[in-house]
C-alpha cells in the first residue's frame, strides 16, 4: 500500500477557462506552506492533488495545507491497483487504522473517473460493502448516517480513504486582486481581512494610530494581529500612519460630534493615496451595519464619498456573535480583546453624529488643510513587513 495525502478543491473547478490559473495558484500556495516540512512528490489526477510524503509528517502537513484557501478536504489515502481484489483487500486493511469502537456503522461511496472499470459505482459500493461485512462482524451498514465512510476513487489507479479533514474553502489567495485592509486593534478588521482573503484577494494592511495619545503597546497589538492574519494571507505589508496631528486639527477647528466621521474620511483618503501608489484595487474594513455610530447607513454613505476606491465590507450583515466565532477560529480573538485603546476610541466624542449630511461635513472640512495634513501623515509613515 502507498499512503498519500489527497487535496480536494472546491470552487476552483467551477471557473471554466480560469480553472488552470486558479489551480496553479492554489498549488503554489500549498507548496509555500509546506516547504519547511518537505515532501517527496506532488501530482494531479482528475481534479485532485496528490502529495507523497513521509506518513509521520501527515498531521503537520495537513495543518499547514488546511490554511490554504480554495481547499475543501485533505484526505489520507491509500493508492492500490485498480482491481476488485486489491480494492477489497485495501478497504478492509484501512478499517484497521480507524476502527476503535465496536458496533460502528459505515457505508461505501465510490466514484469512477475511469468509466471502463467493470463495475458501476453502485455495484462497487455493494461489492466492497459486502466484503467488509464478511471481515468485520461488529460493523453494520447505514447509508444515511454512518459513523464513517469508505471512499473509493477509481482512476488510473484506485484511491481509498476514510479520514479527511475539512479545509477553508473559498478561492486561492491571489486570484481576486489586491486589497488594502484598514487594520485596527479590534475584533472585526482581522476577520474582514480573512474573509476577503478567502475570496482570493491578496491582503496588505494600513494601520492608523495616534501615538503618543495611544501607547506603543496598542500599536504592537495591531502588528501582532497582522502576524496572526498572515498565517492565512502569507507575507503582508503594513503601512503604519500616525493621525495625532489630524485629530488635533479636527478637535481645534471642527464640531466635536463630527470627529469620528471626519477622521474616517481622512483614513479613506490616505488609504486611497497609498492604494494609488502601490496599486491596490480596493479598501477593506471590518464595519458591520449599525454596530457603532460611524456604521449607520448615513455615516457609511458620507465616508464612501471620500474614497477613490471601492470599500469592501465583508462583515456588513453579520452579527457580532458570528464575527467573534470566526475570530476565535482564526486565532485572533484573544489578542484582539487585550485592553489597549486605539485612536478611534481615544478621540471618540461622547455624543457622535449618527446621521451626518455630506454638505455639513464638507463645510467643516473647509476649516482644515486637508492636503497638507494627509501628506505629512504619509511622509512620516512606517512600512512594516510581516512574514
Asked whether 310 and 319 are in contact (CB, 8 A), the reply is no
How many Å apart are CA 14 and CA 11, to the nearest integer? 5
291 assigned binding-site residue: no
144 assigned binding-site residue: no
Give the pLDDT confidence score for residue 293 in this predicted structure: 67
For residue 7, how far is the Cα from the chain centroid? 17
C-alpha cell at 36: 519547511
Closest alpha carbon to 313 in 217, 211, 179, 220 = 179
220 assigned binding-site residue: no
Give the pLDDT confidence score for residue 40 in this predicted structure: 96
pLDDT in tens, the chain (387 residues): 899 999 999 876 565 667 788 888 889 999 999 999 999 999 999 889 999 999 999 999 999 999 999 999 999 999 999 999 999 999 999 888 766 667 889 999 999 999 999 999 999 999 999 999 998 888 999 999 999 999 999 999 999 999 999 999 999 888 899 999 999 989 999 999 999 999 999 999 999 999 888 888 989 999 999 999 999 998 999 999 999 999 999 999 999 999 999 999 999 999 999 999 999 999 999 999 987 767 899 999 999 999 999 999 999 999 999 999 999 999 999 999 988 766 556 667 778 888 999 999 999 999 999 999 999 999 999 999 998
Where is 26: in which H helix or E strand?
helix 19-34
Concatenate the DSSP letters of all residues of 259-307 into one string.
HHHHHHHHHHHHHHHHHHHHT--EEE----TTSSGGGSHHHHHHHHTT-
Return the bridge partners of 105, or none.
140
Asked whether 176 and 201 are in contact (CB, 8 A), the reply is yes
Asked whether 136 and 95 are in contact (CB, 8 A), the reply is yes
Give the pLDDT confidence score for residue 97 in this predicted structure: 74
Spell out the long-range contacts of 322-328 with Cβ–Cβ below 8 A and sequence spacing 24 or more: 323/187, 323/188, 323/191, 323/286, 323/288, 324/187, 326/191, 326/194, 326/195, 327/187, 327/190, 327/191
Spell out the long-range contacts of 16-23 with Cβ–Cβ below 8 A and sequence spacing 24 or more: 18/175, 21/175, 22/70, 22/171, 22/172, 22/175, 22/200, 23/172
Asked whether 195 and 176 are in contact (CB, 8 A), the reply is no
Can you tell me which residue has the cell 487504522?
A: 97
How many Å apart are CA 361 and CA 260, to the nearest integer? 11
Helices 121-135 and 84-98 cross at an angle (nearest 10°) of 50
Can you tell me which residue has the cell 477593506?
A: 284
With a CB cutoff of 8 Å and minimum separation 6, the contacts of 35 are none
Which fold does the domain 2-166 belong to in CATH? VC0802-like (3.30.2130)
Give the pLDDT confidence score for residue 383 in this predicted structure: 98
Tell me phi and psi for residue 207, to 5 degrees.
Answer: -120, 130
E strand map for 53-169:
71-80, 105-112, 140-141, 148-154, 158-169
**Per-domain residue ranges of the chain:** 2-166, 178-386
How many Å apart are CA 92 and CA 87, to the nearest integer? 9
CATH of 178-386, one of 3.30.200.20, 3.40.50.620, 3.90.550.10, 3.40.50.720: 3.40.50.620
368 assigned binding-site residue: no
Peptide bond connecting 262 to the previous residue in cis, omega within 30 degrees of 0: no
Give the pLDDT confidence score for residue 352 in this predicted structure: 86
With a CB cutoff of 8 Å and minimum separation 6, the contacts of 83 are none
295 assigned binding-site residue: yes
Query: How does strand 236-242 pair with strand 148-154?
Result: unpaired
How many Å apart are CA 101 and CA 166, to the nearest integer? 23
Query: How does strand 105-112 pair with strand 148-154?
Result: parallel
Asked whether 159 and 150 are in contact (CB, 8 A), the reply is no
Residue 148 DSSP label: E
182 assigned binding-site residue: yes
Amino acid at each position: 500500500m502507498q499512503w498519500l495525502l489527497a487535496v480536494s478543491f472546491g470552487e476552483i473547478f467551477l471557473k471554466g477557462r480560469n480553472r488552470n490559473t486558479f489551480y496553479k495558484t492554489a498549488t503554489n500556495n500549498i507548496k509555500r506552506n509546506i516547504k519547511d516540512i518537505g515532501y517527496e512528490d506532488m501530482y494531479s489526477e482528475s481534479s485532485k492533488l496528490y502529495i507523497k510524503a513521509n506518513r509521520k509528517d501527515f498531521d503537520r502537513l495537513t495543518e499547514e495545507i488546511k490554511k490554504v484557501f480554495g481547499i475543501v478536504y485533505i484526505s489520507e489515502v491509500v493508492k492500490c491497483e485498480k482491481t476488485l481484489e486489491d480494492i477489497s483487500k485495501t478497504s478492509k486493511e484501512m478499517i484497521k487504522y480507524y476502527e476503535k469502537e465496536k458496533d460502528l456503522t459505515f457505508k461505501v461511496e465510490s466514484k469512477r473517473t475511469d468509466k471502463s472499470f467493470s463495475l458501476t459505482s453502485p455495484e462497487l459500493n455493494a461489492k466492497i460493502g459486502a466484503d467488509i461485512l464478511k471481515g468485520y462482524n461488529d460493523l453494520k451498514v447505514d447509508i444515511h448516517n454512518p459513523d464513517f465512510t469508505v471512499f473509493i476513487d477509481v482512476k488510473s489507479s484506485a484511491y481509498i480513504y476514510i479520514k479527511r479533514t475539512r479545509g477553508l474553502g473559498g478561492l486561492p489567495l491571489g486570484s481576486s486582486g489586491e486589497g488594502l485592509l484598514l487594520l485596527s486593534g479590534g475584533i472585526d478588521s482581522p476577520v474582514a481581512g480573512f474573509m476577503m482573503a478567502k475570496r482570493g484577494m491578496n491582503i496588505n494592511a494600513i494601520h492608523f494610530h495616534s501615538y503618543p495619545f495611544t501607547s506603543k503597546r496598542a500599536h504592537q497589538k495591531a502588528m501582532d494581529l497582522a502576524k496572526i492574519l498572515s498565517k492565512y494571507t502569507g507575507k503582508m505589508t503594513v503601512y503604519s500612519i500616525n493621525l495625532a496631528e489630524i485629530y488635533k486639527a479636527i478637535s481645534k477647528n471642527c464640531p466635536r460630534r463630527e470627529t469620528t466621521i471626519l477622521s474616517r474620511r481622512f483614513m479613506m483618503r490616505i488609504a486611497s493615496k497609498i492604494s494609488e501608489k502601490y496599486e491596490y484595487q480596493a479598501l477593506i474594513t471590518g464595519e458591520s451595519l449599525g454596530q457603532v455610530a460611524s456604521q449607520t447607513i448615513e455615516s457609511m454613505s458620507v465616508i464612501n464619498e471620500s474614497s477613490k476606491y471601492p470599500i469592501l465590507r465583508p462583515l456588513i450583515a453579520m452579527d457580532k456573535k458570528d464575527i467573534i466565532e470566526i475570530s476565535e477560529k482564526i486565532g485572533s480573538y484573544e489578542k484582539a480583546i487585550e485592553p489597549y485603546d486605539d485612536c478611534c476610541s481615544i478621540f471618540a466624542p461622547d455624543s457622535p453624529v449618527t446621521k451626518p449630511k455630506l454638505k455639513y461635513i464638507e463645510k467643516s472640512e473647509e476649516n482644515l488643510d486637508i492636503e497638507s495634513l494627509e501628506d505629512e501623515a504619509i511622509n512620516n509613515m512606517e512600512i512594516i513587513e510581516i512574514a
